[in-house]
Amino acid sequence: MGKQRKKWPTDTKEQIVLSVLGGQLNVAEAARQHGVNESLIHTWKAQFLEAGRGRLAGDHTDDRHGELERENERLKVLVGEKELALHIAKKARGL
């Protein structure tokens, strides 16, 4: 059986990344202090810089998610209104 990976808490990853970014520790020192592989710290640092704390928490949702949901709802209402108008027009013509 393979070795189980350790799941690092978001707060711990954030603390390590901020200590490296803030210059309190270099990556090698942080790795030794926390028992983390240096490459993993580099990965966390890149993720943090790319998307911030949400990414470290495992949130990979697109920033536009809420915007797209609102647009989807608006389009559903518009389609409903058009279907109703078409239904009324057909009734008026006796179809």
pLDDT tens by residue, the chain, 95 residues: 567 788 999 999 999 999 999 999 999 999 999 999 999 999 999 988 887 767 677 776 665 677 888 898 999 999 999 999 999 999 999 87
- Do 33 and 50 lie in one domain? The reply is yes
Number of compact structural domains in the chain: 2
Q: What is the pLDDT of residue 39?
A: 96
Q: What is the pLDDT of residue 28?
A: 97
Q: What is the pLDDT of residue 60?
A: 64
- Do 39 and 75 lie in one domain? The reply is no
The pTM of the full predicted model, rounded to 2 decimals, is 0.54
- Do 34 and 56 lie in one domain? The reply is yes
- Do 72 and 95 lie in one domain? The reply is yes
90: left (phi over 0), alpha (psi -120 to 50) or beta: alpha
Q: The domain containing residue 83 runs over which residues?
A: 61-95
Domain-embedded: residue 2? no
Domain-embedded: residue 94? yes
CA distance 80 to 93: 20
